Structure 1
Amino acid sequence: MITALNASHEVRLLLQPYDFELSQDMRPFLEEYWATSFPIALVYLLLILVGQNYMKTRKGFHLQWPLILWSFCLAVFSIVGAVRTWAYMGTLALSRGLKHTVCFSESIEHSIIKFWSWVFLLSKIIELGDTAFIILRKRPLIFVHWYHHSTVLVFTCFGYKNKVPSGGWFMTMNFGVHAVMYTYYTLKAAKVRSPQLLPMLITSLQILQMFVGATVGVLTYIWRQEPGCHTTAEHFFWSLVLYTTYFILFAHFFCQAYLKPKAKAKAKSQ
């Protein structure tokens, strides 16, 4: 009994917002200028072309220490975001049910989610810098990378503007995957040996994220007739389109990166 009470007290403490999470709400400003995400994404794509053209006749930069610092900062940010959002969304889902977390506005009105939502949105702009390191170091830039970065930025701003509660899971899952991913990038940049299965695990988590995200979107659309359940057909359509394309692209990358090489090596040995 005492253990249960202590655990309950710890949970309540975990769900209490910190002072920095009670800072000024940026929602009015970000809602008003959400469409700015389109020109930002366009400039991002143009800079990719300019950067690749600039580096075509030049040697790639080393950039080890800047890359370590960049990846480390994003790893710490993602870990803290994952802990805070998973604690709240997980507790709410266990206590009130999944429907409550994807239909009703209680989740997005809580101070923890309100703070991390607008910080998460701004992080999608900052994360575009990942591509700069790829181009400047003359590493292969695959389609799924720039497609994912640009569309996630626009979709995050779109969902934030519409105040769709299911967006809380989009943010929470993304924080969780990025916590693992940027930790791996930090270790890789620092040339620290990590488990060989870690890259495969990260891609698997990304695929799972897309599947769960599409499932949440479908459930939200099914539950939309519930009194007070807030979603829009427009948001459902675009979330389904994007999650489906992400799922296909990451599944294809998984096959190309982890399954085909093994198949070729097996064929050679025979």
Structure 2
Amino acid sequence: MNDYYDVALRNYSYIFNFEEKFEHKDTRAWMTKNWTISFYFCGLYMILIFGGQHYMQSRPRFQLKGVLSVWNTLLATFSIMGAFRTAPELFHVLKNYGIYHSICIPSFIELDRVAGVWTWLFVLSKLPELGDTVFVVLRKQPLIFLHWYHHITVLLYSWFSYTEYTSSARWFIVMNYCVHSIMYSYYALKAMGYHPPRAISMLITTCQLCQMIVGCTVNIWAAQYIQEHQPCHVSVTNIRLSIAMYFSYFVLFARFFYKAYLSQDSGKKSKTIVSVPSQYARNNSEKLKGQ
């Protein structure tokens, strides 16, 4: 335990009790045995959201501003905490060991319980994040493909990657926590009735696009290390799935960015267009109502 503290305190000024007691072997054993449950969750999710849309067709939309404010505030707080508890490990590895180690050696599980527990919480968080779509359905906002495709694929990939202790995941997790910290904080402010400047929404989408580019780059580096026969704790299957996922996200978010900020119609909108799919869908809905 003392050796652990010597390592951990280089990155963290304080270690919480639940972080200290975290046992990655127990969580991995459970996730390895049960990760396919995520498919059932996704199936139920699809039934509920599209069934919910059908149910809401003949019913008035819910406002849910108070609940939405609390929901986004909780997710923003969780994301900020996750970013602060995982980013130090990535920076420490990059500074002291380099790119190869950060991509191929899974020390975030073996040597760092703080990053380990927040990695596990990250994976689990993809399940409650499906609740974002509940608000879309109940508020009768158009449910675009990017929204539900993103939620489903992230959930499935995250749960699968945890069973493999995918070492490159430290990059994906830190990036996602950081982007979500900004994104859900923006959501929360909007739900509370504030009007952050349009530049913030553009910044969020730009960060999302950068996230996809870095994700693809990390996977390409991992593939190169494997081709060079260097030990790398990333499976070829995982690399293929991850590149396909990140590239598809990049295409969809780039298309969204163009429609929201660069097309001629985007300049005519009187309301701020938010970079998140659900908010963009709401603005589209308002536009259609005026036609």
TM normalised by structure 1 equals 0.90
Q: Which runs of 5+ in 1 are unaligned?
A: 1-9, 266-270
Report how far residue 15 of structure 1 moved: 6.4
- 1:31–1:161 contact (8 Å) kept in structure 2: yes
How many correspondences in the alignment? 257
Please give the secondary structure, in 1, of the residue aligned with 2:177. helix
1:258-269 → structure 2 map (5 Å cutoff)? 258-261=261-264, 265=268
Partners of 1:61 and 1:23 in 2: CA distance: 42
Range moving further from structure 2, 36-45 or 124-133: 36-45
2:12 to 8, 14, 19: 14
Q: Residues 194 and 228 (structure 1 numbering): CA distance in 2 closer, same or farther, change over 3 Å?
A: same
Please give the secondary structure, in 2, of the residue aligned with 1:197. helix
Partners of 2:120 and 2:187 in 1: CA distance: 24
Equivalent position of 1:70 in the other structure:
71
Q: Residues 116 and 263 (structure 1 numbering): CA distance in 2 closer, same or farther, change over 3 Å?
A: closer
Partners of 1:177 and 1:64 in 2: CA distance: 23
Equivalent position of 1:242 in the other structure:
245
1:210 to 209, 212, 219: 212
Equivalent position of 2:224 in the other structure:
222
1:46-195 → structure 2 map (5 Å cutoff)? 46-109=47-110, 110-195=112-197
Partners of 1:23 and 1:134 in 2: CA distance: 38
Range moving further from structure 2, 212-221 or 11-20: 11-20
- 1:210–1:243 contact (8 Å) kept in structure 2: yes
Task: Give per-residue Cα distances to partners, 1:162-204, cap 9 Å, x unaligned.
Answer: 1110011111110000000000000000011212211111111
Please give the secondary structure, in 2, of the residue aligned with 1:191. coil
Partners of 2:200 and 2:246 in 1: CA distance: 23
Report how far residue 262 of structure 1 moved: 5.6
- 2:11–2:89 contact (8 Å) kept in structure 1: no
Partners of 1:135 and 1:126 in 2: CA distance: 16
- 1:101–1:107 contact (8 Å) kept in structure 2: no
1:196 is aligned to 2:198: yes
Equivalent position of 2:288 in the other structure:
none
Partners of 1:90 and 1:220 in 2: CA distance: 18
Partners of 2:266 and 2:158 in 1: CA distance: 38
Q: Which runs of 5+ in 2 are unaligned?
A: 1-7, 269-291
- 1:103–1:230 contact (8 Å) kept in structure 2: yes
Partners of 1:23 and 1:203 in 2: CA distance: 37
Q: Residues 264 and 65 (structure 1 numbering): CA distance in 2 closer, same or farther, change over 3 Å?
A: closer
Percentage of pairs with the same residue: 40
Amino acid corresponding to residue 58 of structure 1 in structure 2: R
Equivalent position of 1:268 in the other structure:
none
Q: CA RMSD of the aligned region, Å?
A: 1.9
Report how far residue 82 of structure 1 moved: 0.5
